[in-house]
Structure 1
Amino acid sequence: MSNRTTLTDLRGMDAGQASRLPPAHLALLLEDAAALRADAKHVSDLLADALHRRYGRVAAERRQAEGKDTGRVRFLDAGFEISADLPKRVEWDQERLAAAIATLRSWGEDPADYVATEIKVPESRFTAWPPKLQALFQPARTVGTGRPSYSLEQAEC
């Protein structure tokens, strides 16, 4: 029998109880959770590949019959309705978009009627700007935070 806290034990705790566990237990639980995520990803990828091998050809034929390259098609297999989705992924060349927008303006059109424009400022550039430039952009800047993360490693004594 072990004093080690398992993921099963952890599932029965709330965050307050878990926060009181010894760092050694937390470190082992983090390792266990990482292994579980890796295993789940492997299994999920394996299933996705298996489903594509089994239904990819049929789905492609259905899409072709429906006159579409992407999107969702449905068909039956052994009493199951299979829904096969091939999402469309569109990427836009930023330089060519800028040129197209300039052409719209030269035609007297308002580009906002046709395209959504999002201006981004990389944080590394903002922090490198001189204070006068930072002050100009500061009112448009909101700083938030992401989810905190922690790692635990045995200290070398």
Structure 2
Amino acid sequence: MSDLTIFPVDIAEMSVSQLANLSPEQKREVDANLDAAISWLKKARTKFDAALDQCYGEQGRTALRDSGRDSGTTHISDGPLRIKFDLPKKVSWNQKQLNEIAERIASSGDKVEHYIDVKFSVSETKYMAWPPALQQQFAVARTMDTGKPSFTLSTDGGEA
């Protein structure tokens, strides 16, 4: 491989057209450099967030508890540094128990939608395995869209 030197800092300054006009080898290098930078940044962010939690986490949790809360936002000062400590609430619901509750609500004559958000979905794998007659019944409710494309670059010798 030749001495290529396209780094993320260079990429940020290039236009989309300039990037599109790079040689195949340069595109592969840009792709590999971006993946490496993303990986490094994710690891660094995780490590630094752990350091912040080690340094300020207990103080933030104590401030929340002292204000009668288990979650939410509080502010901490460390000399000239101001830290916004946010501990989000993470709620999960037992689906089996919710289903049983929904059945009781419906059997009592109330509308389940008044109490529980109901969202219907069909697994695409199951849908595709159905016979055509059943698929046809559901087809009016099905919308298919595409997501963001992804690209995997490799050289003739294999993946980069």
Q: Same fold (TM over 0.5)?
A: yes
**Comparing both chains, which one has the higher relative contact order based on Cα–Cα distances under 8 Å and sequence gaps of 6 or more?**
1
Matched with 1:20 is 21
8 A contact 2:6–2:30 mirrored in 1:
yes
| 1:38-53 aligned within 5 A | 38-53=39-54
Structure 1 position 91, deviation (Å): 1.3
| 1:1-157 aligned within 5 A | 2=3, 4-156=5-157
Q: What is the letter of the counterpart of residue 71 of structure 2?
A: T
Unaligned runs of 5+ in 2: none
| 1:4-55 Cα shifts (integer Å, max 9, x gaps) | 5443433332222211211111111110000100111111111101110011
Partner SS, residue 73 of structure 2: strand
Q: What is the letter of the counterpart of residue 13 of structure 2?
A: G
- TM-score with structure 1 setting the length: 0.91
8 A contact 1:27–1:151 mirrored in 2:
no
Change (3 A) 1:16 1:62: same
Unaligned runs of 5+ in 1: none
Runs of 4+ in 1 over 3 A off after TM superposition: 1-9
Structure 1 position 111, deviation (Å): 1.1
Change (3 A) 1:9 1:80: closer
Separation of aligned partners in 2, 1:143 and 1:30: 29
Q: What is the letter of the counterpart of residue 91 of structure 1?
A: S
8 A contact 1:75–1:81 mirrored in 2:
yes
8 A contact 2:4–2:29 mirrored in 1:
no
Partner SS, residue 55 of structure 1: helix
Change (3 A) 1:9 1:58: closer
Structure 1 position 122, deviation (Å): 1.1
- TM-score with structure 2 setting the length: 0.89
Count of residues in correspondence between the two structures: 157
